[in-house]
Structure 1
Amino acid sequence: MSRTTTRSNHLAPRHHARASVVTIAALALAGCTLVGGEDGGGGSPTNGGNEQADGGTLTVVTHDSFALSDELLASFEADTGYTLERVAPGDAGALVNQLVLTTDSPLGDVVYGIDNAFAARAVDAGVLDPYTPENQPASADQHDLGEALTPIDFGDVCLNVDHQWFDEHDVAEPTTLQELTEPAYRDLTVVTNPATSSPGLSFLLATIGEFGEDGWQDYWADLADNGVKVVDGWSDAYYVDFSGSEGAGPRPIVLSYASSPAAEVPEGGDEPRTGALLETCFRQVEYAGVLAGADNVEGAQAFVDFLLSPEVQAEIPTQMYMYPVDDSVELPEAWARHAPLAEDPVTLDPARIDANREDWIATWTEIVIG
């Protein structure tokens, strides 16, 4: 989902800016003093202490789609004594850009939301200090990028289709990226700009991984010739142009997530009106880390541990519409039925992405936008 635009409340929390996104800021503004650690923000989380203590401020830097329940964030404050404050510079790209620009005067203590498209840049710029949580589950090891980044959640950016539209128009649903360039799918697809949207960038990376350095430019030229529409943000693509959700737009193919269909089961129905094309997916992983130069290092480490706790991992599907890295967490029933992950998603080495990202976006812009 693009983190550059506000989402509608129709979809689950991952897809939109919600009231609980501002939970941390609200708690901070309330000036909460809760049960927990000793002065200055030190110490590990405590449980069940009776003394009221001010553990100090813990500043959490996130992308603008971070969301956890009020109750869960309040419990962290109560258990640790920290008062949470939040800084949200924008989407994943804007987040990393700001972290790099403020390396000598960090925005906060801990960061969540660096994804694999920008991870190498953050590490190479030295914005993170090493930290490996003791509670990191073994299932997270497959996403490991080194000791400065802790994997928290993941998901697949994929094209979604409107089943009803294809049934009514007697057109076969596409299944692959290549099919989108065929005349049968002219003017049917809407995607987001990789320069302004994190799923847009993921989709560009999917095409690079699929067609290679020698073929992705030709693919996009063919897709542009076949009438693909490009918009800046996920909200416009999904809610305005896509026919399969509340916007009832004219285009039955949209860039979204593999998890999106789980939110499109009509009231009283059993099956979603949309589906994800699992052969078009790019695997996106989101990380947390302790910021170099943090004022509250122990608090930052405690928050990373918190993000891997069973309680937070269980909320990730319903609050941020991503998969938890802890595979022992039970997923919502709708996810088990309607939000399968791709069996063979496209992945690219983060270092390769970092070395080529700006050139790829500039080339894409020249081909598609002109």
Structure 2
Amino acid sequence: MKRRSFLTTAGAGGVAALTGCLGDGGATTADEGTTTTGGTTASETGTTTGTAGGETPELVVATYGAFVDAPSTSPGPWLKDAFESEFDATIRYETPDSEVNYYIERAARGVDIPSDLYVGLDVNMLIRIDENLDAPLFAPVDGLERRDTVKESLEFDPQGRAVPYDTGYICLVFDETFGDGDFSAPATFDGLLEDQFAGDLLTQNPVSSATGKAFLLHTVAAKGRDGFLDYWQGLKENDVRVLEDWSTSYTAYSNGEAPMVVSYSTDQVYAHDSGEDLAKHQLRFLNDQGYANPEGMAMFEGTDRPELARTFMDFVLRPDVQAEIAVRNVQYPATTTAELPESFAKYAQEPPEAVTFNYDTLRDNLSEWTSAWERQFVGN
């Protein structure tokens, strides 16, 4: 499949700035940097016309590994089967280790982009793209039948490239059985600095983790631009543990290494469905707030399958599909039309107040905030 090359020149520090995210910073071939999940033959009852030569069209969807790596629970395999059963097309997933950074670097080097869509985009990734590339990586999306069902509060791309499909709220998850069996997380950010909670919090690196970045941004919102670094110094002195990513930190939490972890307000949904003790999955919205972190999907500029890509995006916004993705991804749906099962509605919790920064604020400040955090927290 031929695609238009991206003859893009990165800014002065563009590729260099990505080196930390990509490991060795070198170019990665599709075979070396991605894992591919192949498509199966579409059902003959599909409703979308194939190619003129009779070939079944293939849509290459880039995403993060967890979206596809557990066939029984991840949304990706179910979504692929459901789409292929209705449309004369196949889905093939690409899951590069460095996620969206893989495509940023390819575009910066003028290398072809091997995918049609990206699923799992957030506002921080969009800003990273816009900071490092002079030409668009994704195209604005129009003509979606269900676009107006997306909750307006979740829109995070002023250029219309990213279409939200789910959202999470970042909060604390704590184990009330920890220690003597009567542990309770503090109600406020200031409470985390108290001596009684020394060494009790696990969080994630905001430079490398979306969850960690959301928690950092929540501390900026709570303590102000001039106060968040002092707050983090207090957390450091109270022995907070900052691990590389959500999976690592949650595994440590599950193994009883600490009674609190930064995670998602849908944690009890997964715990209930897995038959776990909900006492070990209690939620705390610090300052009665949760940081909103919606995910979106976007179409690569230069895709050979723009109509098929739009069909897939509209399919993802369909009420039954929205509900299924929410349950499997353990996140809230992005639309107003999804019909969630009773267990999800019972155990998922929304914060009394949702907090987030808009694209413009993050574009102008995110790099400075994360760099300042890294200099102080890691450098000292």
Q: TM-score, normalised by structure 1?
A: 0.80
Residue 136 of structure 1: aligned partner: 147
Q: Deviations over 1:233-271 (max 9, x none)?
A: 22221122x2xx3x2x23101111111122234977884
How large is the RMSD of aligned CA atoms in angstroms? 2.9
2:283 corresponds to which of 276, 280, 293:
276
Shift of 1:284: 0.3
Residue 151 of structure 1: aligned partner: 164
2:243 corresponds to which of 231, 236, 254:
231
**2:313 aligned with 1:301:** no
Shift of 1:142: 2.2
Question: Helix, strand or coil for the counterpart of 1:151?
Answer: strand
Q: How does 1:46-85 map to 2 (within 5 A)?
A: 54-66=55-67, 67-68=74-75, 70-85=77-92
For residues 98 and 258 of structure 1, do their structure 2 counterparts lie closer, same or farther at Cα, with a shift above 3 Å needed? farther
CA distance, structure 2, for counterparts of residue 302 and residue 103 of structure 1: 28
For residues 205 and 109 of structure 1, do their structure 2 counterparts lie closer, same or farther at Cα, with a shift above 3 Å needed? same
Shift of 1:189: 0.7
Stretch of structure 1 that moved more, 102-111 or 177-186: 102-111
Question: Helix, strand or coil for the counterpart of 1:174?
Answer: coil
Shift of 1:71: 4.9
For residues 85 and 41 of structure 1, do their structure 2 counterparts lie closer, same or farther at Cα, with a shift above 3 Å needed? farther
CA distance, structure 2, for counterparts of residue 26 and residue 352 of structure 1: 37
CA distance, structure 2, for counterparts of residue 103 and residue 148 of structure 1: 21
Q: Runs in 1 of length 4+ with deviation above 6 angstroms?
A: 266-270
For residues 291 and 41 of structure 1, do their structure 2 counterparts lie closer, same or farther at Cα, with a shift above 3 Å needed? farther
Shift of 1:54: 3.2
For residues 345 and 158 of structure 1, do their structure 2 counterparts lie closer, same or farther at Cα, with a shift above 3 Å needed? same
Q: Deviations over 1:257-315 (max 9, x none)?
A: 11112223497788443222123521001111221111111111111111111232011
Q: Deviations over 1:154-199 (max 9, x none)?
A: 1111121112227x26554311222101111111111111122110
Question: Helix, strand or coil for the counterpart of 1:40?
Answer: coil
Aligned residues: 331
CA contact (8 A) 1:161 1:253 kept: yes
For residues 177 and 116 of structure 1, do their structure 2 counterparts lie closer, same or farther at Cα, with a shift above 3 Å needed? same
Residue 8 of structure 1: aligned partner: none
Q: How does 1:103-118 map to 2 (within 5 A)?
A: 105-118=112-125
Identity %: 26
Q: Deviations over 1:17-70 (max 9, x none)?
A: xxxxx9x95442x5x25434334389xxxxxxxxxx533221111122223264
Question: Helix, strand or coil for the counterpart of 2:217?
Answer: helix
**2:137 aligned with 1:127:** yes
Where do 5+ consecutive residues of structure 1 fail to align?
5-21, 43-52
Shift of 1:344: 1.1
Q: Deviations over 1:52-94 (max 9, x none)?
A: x533221111122223264542231243222211112246663
Q: How does 1:22-33 map to 2 (within 5 A)?
A: 25-28=36-39, 30=40, 32-33=41-42
Shift of 1:226: 0.6
Where do 5+ consecutive residues of structure 2 fail to align?
1-20, 22-33, 68-73
CA distance, structure 2, for counterparts of residue 235 and residue 202 of structure 1: 15
Question: Helix, strand or coil for the counterpart of 1:180?
Answer: helix
